[in-house]
Chains A and B, each alone.
Chain A
Amino acid sequence: MLSKNDKKLKLLWLQGLTCNGNTHSFLNLASLSILLSKFEILHFPAMQAMHTFEVISELKLSCDVLIFEGTYDPLMKRNDVFVKDILQHYAKEAKYIIAAGSCASFGGMFKASAPERNSGILFNEKNKSGPLIEYKEKIINLSGCPIHPEWMGFTLSMIVNNQKILLDELHRPLELYSSLAHHGCSRNEYFEWKVDAKGFGLKEGCLFYEQGCRAPMTHSSCNKILWNEVSSKTRIGTPCFGCTEPDFPRSALFVTKTNMSIPQDVPLGIPKRSYLTMAGIAKTFHIKRLEGKLIDYKTTS
């Protein structure tokens, strides 16, 4: 634990090719000012901090915690300095490097801007071949489009407390990414009994069979640590798009890819035969309670 006499860790938030979504998501963090007060912020895109970007790009400073948001494009410049040079300079002495968002983790949405050269800082989709591969021991990927502010809050707090963060094979913190987006969805019972949602805009029904929900195949805590402390996409009827995974963004969204009505992808780790057997059996039953509307506003008086 840091005492008042210990020096604060120096934090630098750099950006590659980004929409700034992770920055804005992070600004929603409930305990933001308390968390930030534990660091010396060298630079942060949304607020004035210790230094201007001009000073940062002179490459004379160093930081302890380097956060990189956005896709890595080796040809990109900021303030006429190559981002790759800025990144390499600060990565060298940083004790922790955090990829904020799926773009920095795997390439994400803007890998498509220049697919032959864009990537994440450690991973290029699923391949460990990014520019910071020599620093892989100190890289943490917080994938997501955007990240949930609590995920960054958790990571930075663990760092401040000098606690080791266990990571999965994609360098994502296990405590955040070992569960699936599916865990905690309020429509779980419909998933269990294979009651499909009949289109969009309804509380009832599971979005997995027809509406393309990727939650059973996506690692995240979206239905455990609710978004904005309030809700999640699947709870309000929008399918999960699998944004924490290396293949985000996928194509043909909002629709489940099926082969002869059989979902092409089944929940992670479940053998297809097992899944189809269970699904086939569950589909057989017609549970009246689950097939009607939860609340019939029109006839209930």
Chain B
Amino acid sequence: MARVTKEERRDGIISVALKLFSEKGFYITTIPDIAQKVGMSVGNFYNYFTSKDILAKELVLYISDYIGSQIREINERDISTEEKVYEIVSMYFTMAQEKPEMIEYFLRVYLSNREVFGEGCEGMICVSAFVTEMMIFFDDGVASGDLHDQDFFSAFGLFMGYLGGMVFLFGEKILPEPLESYKESISLNIYNALKKR
């Protein structure tokens, strides 16, 4: 049997932590809860993450890196801007369904508990991997003449706010149809709003 690497261990902790925060809530879940679920001592846990605050921030970085690398892969594909919009929406919705704890953590913990992330996650530092990829997407879109040139935040807010809102509604079980059935209309709305006039 191959030994589990430190990295795999770390990823394991992250995975469990996200699920527990999702099930029980961020404040209620404790380090011993997580350590027990992972199957390690609390002392050993602290070798990986020195405090709950540190863990909280590392989780944001982890999610941001994950989403960032997904968007990067889409950015680097030889497809049209319109298709990229669809792919990004699709990726995001797929994540919401298959790894709901990730998006949920982002929306319900990171965005909603700024006091936890005040120091060390100021502004957009901790989500820079994902924001940078969105910048690349917009830059390429305008440079190729597909998207209308405008302020970054106007475009970013439209795209991400829309997706976040849909996922929130999904999480609250308000959407009558499955999330993926909204992919087409939402992609079209986003593309129509952002495309060159």
Contacts and interface: CB of A to CB of B under 8 A. Distances in A.
The answer to whether A and B assemble together is yes
Interface of A: 258-262, 264, 272-273, 276-277, 280-281, 283-285
A260 B124 contact: no
A281 B135 contact: no
Nearest to A283: B123
A203 to B, nearest CB: 26
Contact of A285 (B123, B141, B147): B123
B139 A280 contact: no
Contact residues of B: prevailing secondary structure: helix
Most B C-beta atoms less than 10 A away, residue of A261, A273, A284, A285: A261
Nearest to A278: B128
A261 B149 CA distance: 8
A284 B139 contact: no
Which 5 A/B pairs are nearest by Cβ-Cβ distance? Answer: A284-B123, A259-B142, A261-B152, A260-B138, A262-B139
Contacts of A261: 151-153
Contacts of B155: 260
A172 B128 CA distance: 38
A277 B123 contact: no
A259 B122 contact: no
Nearest to A280: B128
8 contacts: A259-B139, A259-B147, A260-B142, A262-B139, A273-B132, A280-B125, A280-B131, A283-B123
B150 interface: yes
A273 B72 CA distance: 10
A259 B149 contact: yes
Contacts of B151: 260-261
A276 B132 contact: yes
B143 A264 contact: yes
A260 B147 contact: yes
B129 interface: yes
Contact of B125 (A272, A276, A284): A284
B155 to A, nearest CB: 5
Contacts of A280: 124-125, 128, 131-132, 135
Contacts of A272: 136, 139
Most A C-beta atoms less than 10 A away, residue of B128, B138, B150, B153: B128
Interface string B170-190: 000000000000000000000
Given A260-B151, A272-B139, A280-B132, 4 more contacts: A259-B142, A260-B147, A260-B155, A262-B135
Most A C-beta atoms less than 10 A away, residue of B138, B142, B151: B142
A259 B123 contact: no
B57 to A, nearest CB: 14
